[in-house]
Amino acid sequence: MDEIQTYVAFSGAAAVAAAVQVFKKMVKLPPDLEDRILPLAALILGIGWNALVLSYANAADQRIVTVVLYGVLSGFAASGLWAQASATIRTFRAPDGTEPAPRG
């Protein structure tokens, strides 16, 4: 069952990243608070994702500590995924904000 938990936790990182973006669109945060609130939202949504999916999978023998730990890992993975994707996109944009011409 440990392998299934690991797969659920890290496959949920994409779902958590998407849920954080939905949260960001629904709750208009000031730009200075986004950097503080969104990682916390990712952690909370990651814990919720793991609790929901593992309870649906009838993993009744799982301890709450394990579910929370995997939720935290899923939230951190989602937060890191989004940060790296955003940084990569900003790197390849032209200074005026337009998309650069394709290479090759």
pLDDT, greater one: 96 or 49: 49
Provide the pLDDT confidence category of residue 101 given band limits of 50, 70 and 90: low
Residue 65, pLDDT above cutoff 60: yes
Q: Is the pLDDT of residue 29 over 70?
A: yes
Could you tell me which residue, 50 or 62, shows the higher pLDDT?
Answer: 50
pTM confidence score: 0.72
Residue 104 DSSP symbol? -
Q: How far is CA 13 from CA 21, 74, 94, 95, in A?
A: 12, 5, 29, 31
Identify the band that residue 102 occupies on the pLDDT scale cut at 50, 70 and 90: low
Buried residues in 4-31 as b, exposed as e (16+ CB within 10 A) = ebeebbeebbeebbebbeebeeeeeeee
At 23, list the tokens.
């949260």
